[in-house]
Structure 1
């Protein structure tokens, strides 16, 4: 599997205001866009946030509440602004609100509502970016076989949007389309089509009068992805347009195997970090170095629920992403479909995650080699060590709750190694029952303290089981441990199950651990790719370093599992 195949190339927010936000981000107001260059406007947009799953709704009547979010209010936007965000991307899917051709008239009520929310956001001091969103795969993707129809509708859509917003201030920017691909075509065959759409968008907006003559326009790569060929094509397109008020946009959802925990990438290790750094170097070299500012219009981890990625490793990614983006001068707009900022309660569902995001706008945070430190309850307690990832900071101290622990007595730091003394560990785990744990806070000279979970454990025990190819539940006593990853191979050593280019199966897709229920489910998706009459040997890797083997036998739709 070549490196390109392993990359993610996109195919497929009162008490809140009191939360800690870097002062520089919270207090500053973005510079007025009038008379600013494209580069200055994009810099002023940092950081940004997406109002996802609202105006991009396409089901259930396509109302802005259709995907579970409440109707947008001034209070919501004020709450988000209070978190330090300087720009807001408002994805809009227009297709379900259009009449028939040749006019393709957008419902006036829908246009008026989008205008209203855009104005509300501008009133809060945001830069605002609007686009054509899910239309990309609803109808624009048929352009190779329905070229004239798609062009007529696309042009009519942007003609109406441009006219409706031509008198809005320059703090409003337009993005031509979202994650555009084309049915049945390779990337190379698709490049002329995305270039045609971008060029038409540019001509329509620039010719529509008012503020649109000089408004910042944002052009995406094919799929809005980071493939080098797609970026080179867009760079050439922008050069040909000879318009200084253009920015490029790309989406970034982390290195795919790490994002979904597949192929043996459960940790945010040096290799995965290197992919991120290489991506941003390419973004910078392809665009920024040529005077073209870049907006990461969506970013995060592909696993939207983050269930597949271990907590401490997830936080490392968010910390590192913010640092690399800042060091490269690239603006980022965090994707949020309502799963991060609760738009009813007006608070973050995961305040710690946001603390890593917001802290990275101004500084780094230190981390550890792992946020899990396992102490085997069957062995005598001894000193345990973890590695400090200082990220250019200095280690300061360790806390247990509000208690500051004592250097030398409770822990020792030598170089980048933090060693917790046996006496401390014994006091943290007086009851050594598997699963018992205590949480320490390791602090550095800046940024967010990194949490270290000290866990009592024993070797996990799996029991024999029977089931079907629809699902096999393996009774499991996790004994305080947690699954890191799982390998599946046939008796002859070849890889079994889906994505058979790797023995390591996708966490949460091919297998689903449930410590509370005491089971590991091998899913229908897994058995759909297992040969009938075969034996599959599983090697289950746990975060403690323990491994447990297990055997599966499939006979028709019947499956047996043996410890």
Structure 2
């Protein structure tokens, strides 16, 4: 689960090295007598077998790429099914292995299964359940990472005021975990704590507390014997954040432990405004791209280039995808994000673990099917190659106007543009489109044909194909400026009747007449998607949430500007008077 968000800046809390290294490992086996991890190809259909010890930590972590998180299951509070996922099954790991993943991170929250007072005993049934799930994954030939997860904010965060009890409980937890798994395959890794955070502390204090916990973790595990004597141990930066101060502190901590079998971990959920769609962060623009590039540059310069392996324990976009709500991030912009993420991770030599909260996001745990096959295909493709993109995955054509030529900017990402296709039919360059200085222009005649009857919504889809990777889909879409209507209701929520007319909502800007920002997020006029407003396309409405309405000043009219992906804007006015709310078309 993601940790604290930083509303005014970067969220940098967190594919590995190319598995062609396996050929080199075969040579190393002959030279050193050390057996290497078996890293099966995506097409490997041989019977599952436990991975075997690799030549060294860097190669082991590289062989773990790509990785996947069993999120919101064993880490759910208070129990395994509390957050909507069914019980974990062996079939789930069979599926994950078959989908090409080579390792899984199994977050575990111990809080509700451990006594909060000495001797801090972990419930035997819970420990056995964790062991059962881990063994299923190992039996499938997957590397496995387990940790102390939401305990980080449930009781570990209170270390500044309850130091001795926190340290004692943490030591007791890892003493029991280490004992249970001391004889497990060394394909199992221990991660000390997820997203460490400490209440009412400075960075310097937090870094010191984390060092104390990690040192205790290291001592307890190493002294427990068995395979734990040399098991790879994963250590996080404070907040699992990649800012330089935290990476430097992590390197210093790892040096002080003087142990070659250590792995660094951070998380990454992208530039915060883009990741949650707030402050106008609707696009994976230059700022969002630079945040990602800087994140991996720091990791490469500080860690991987110095021989410190990095397991990026969680990545995605915050609250994306979310099958229970409209997408905060437009589909094409999300595809660009994941495409570049895969490239940057590979270039930095980082192994990456997709954060998957389950039924509500990537893998439906009940059906064992991907909820968005196109998205997972893009993620898989990014493990090995780049794909070309464009400035948008939509071309909007106003139904109320005659059709004219439209232009997109191509982003080949080092590849060669091959042309446009509609299904199996190749469009004709010169007649249907032109390309000049990286700008793709579709002619009016081609768009007229592609728009067909010009019904609102997507009329047709074409593909821009490149020399490698996945094609970039472009949806030719007919729209007209959306129409909103007056509404009235209470502060529990207001639905604004809306005729979307083929358009899609991008963001909402809210201001008072005196220029102040309206809504709970007062540092920006652009409010957070789904938290304060949300489109209901099937229901023909835009919902203003109780969080937004209750944050409004009484009897102070707020002007809302709804921004749509076509470029259209619609202005609306909302006034709260006690518990009642009225909305009027501007």
Is the structural similarity TM-score above 0.5? yes
Q: Cα deviations across residues 150-179 of structure 1 (Å, max 9, x unaligned)? A: 211111111111111111222111100111
**Is the CA contact (8 Å cut-off) linking 1:26 and 1:83 kept in structure 2?**
no
Partners of 2:44 and 2:64 in 1: CA distance:
14
Distance 1:396 1:295, change over 3 A: same
- Normalised by the size of structure 2, how large is the TM-score? 0.89
Partners of 1:441 and 1:71 in 2: CA distance: 40
Q: CA deviation at 1:304?
A: 3.3
Name the SS of the counterpart of 2:231 in structure 1: coil
Query: Which range moves more in the overlay, 49-58 or 339-348?
Result: 339-348
TM-score normalized with structure 1 length: 0.92
Match of 1:508 in 2: 530
Deviation, structure 1 residue 33: 4.8
Q: Which whole-Å deviations, capped at 9, do the CAs of 1:498-539 have from their partners, x for residues lacking one?
A: 221111111111111222222122222112222212121222
- Paired residue for 1:409, among 431, 435, 451? 431
Partner of 2:403: 381
Q: Work out which of the residue numbers 211, 214, 220 in structure 1 matches 2:227.
A: 211
CA 1:342–1:453: 2 relative to 1, 3 Å:
same
Question: What whole-Å deviation, never above 9, does each CA across 1:4-55 have from its counterpart, x for those lacking one?
Answer: 93112559xxxxxxxxxx9954449999553522111111111101111221
Superposition RMSD in Å: 2.2
In the TM superposition, 1:348-427 aligns within 5 A as 348-427=370-449
| Aligned mates of 1:272, 1:93 — CA distance in 2 | 32
Equivalent residue runs for 1:105-254 within 5 Å: 105-254=121-270
Structure 2 distance, partners of 1:546, 1:482, is 10
2:541 aligned residue (519, 525, 536): 519
Query: Among 309, 312, 323, which residue is 2:329 paired with?
Result: 309
Q: Distance in 2 between matches of 1:416 and 1:31?
A: 48
For residue 275 of structure 1, the aligned residue among 281, 291, 294 is 291
Give the Cα–Cα distance (whole angstroms) in 2 for the partners of residues 173 and 224 of structure 1.
17
Distance 2:348 2:568 in 1: 40
| Cα offsets for 1:243-275 (capped at 9, x unmatched) | 111111111111110011111110111221111
Give secondary structure in 2 for the equivalent of 1:5. Answer: coil
Q: Does 1:42 align with 2:64?
A: no
Pick which of 351-360 and 129-138 moved more: 129-138
Does structure 1 residue 8 correspond to structure 2 residue 1? no
Moved more, 473-482 or 427-436: 427-436
DSSP 3-state at the match of 1:281 = helix
- In 1, the alpha carbon distance for the partners of 2:458 and 2:268 equals 37
Quote how far apart the aligned CAs of 1:138 are: 2.0
Q: Which SS does the other structure have where 1:189 is aligned?
A: helix
Matches of 1:535 and 1:35 in 2, distance apart?
65
Query: Relative to structure 2, which stretch is displaced further, 301-310 or 291-300?
Result: 301-310
- Give the distance between the partners of 1:65 and 1:558, measured in 2 at CA: 38
- Give structure 2 stretches of 5+ with no counterpart: 1-5, 15-38
- 340-349 vs 445-454, greater mean Cα deviation: 340-349
For residues 35 and 373 of structure 1, what CA distance do their matches in structure 2 show? Answer: 50
Name the CA shift for 1:561/1:73 in 2 (closer, same or farther; >3 Å): closer
Distance 1:470 1:345, change over 3 A: closer
Stretch of structure 1 that moved more, 170-179 or 408-417: 408-417
Query: How many pairs does the alignment contain?
Result: 548
Counterpart Cα distance in 1 of 2:254 and 2:576: 56
Runs of 5+ unmatched residues, structure 1: 12-21
SS in 2 for 1:273: helix
What's the secondary structure of 1:313's corresponding residue?
Answer: helix
Q: d(CA) in 2 for partners of 1:302 and 1:138?
A: 21
Query: Per the alignment, in what secondary structure is the counterpart of residue 493 of structure 1?
Result: coil
State yes or no: 1:332 paired with 2:352: yes
- In structure 2, the residue matched to 1:265 is 281
Contact 1:31 1:44 in 2 (8 A): no
Contact kept, 8 Å, 2:11 with 2:269, in 1: the verdict is yes
- Distance between the aligned counterparts of 1:103 and 1:473, measured in 2? 53
Query: Shift of residue 407 of structure 1?
Result: 2.5
Separation in 1 of the partners of 2:114 and 2:485?
57
Distance 1:120 1:466 in 2: 55
1:329-350 deviation per Cα after TM superposition (whole angstroms, max 9, x unaligned): 0110111121311233222111
CA contact under 8 A between 1:191 and 1:233: conserved in structure 2? yes
Q: 2:74 aligns with which of 51, 55, 78?
A: 55
Equivalent residue number for residue 19 of structure 1: none
Once residues 125 and 283 of structure 1 are traced to their aligned partners in structure 2, the CA distance between those partners, rounded to angstroms, is: 28
1:537 to 542, 559, 571: 559
* CA offset digits 1:473-505 (Å, max 9, x no partner): 222222211121221111122222122111111
Contact 1:30-1:45 within 8 A present in 2 as well: no
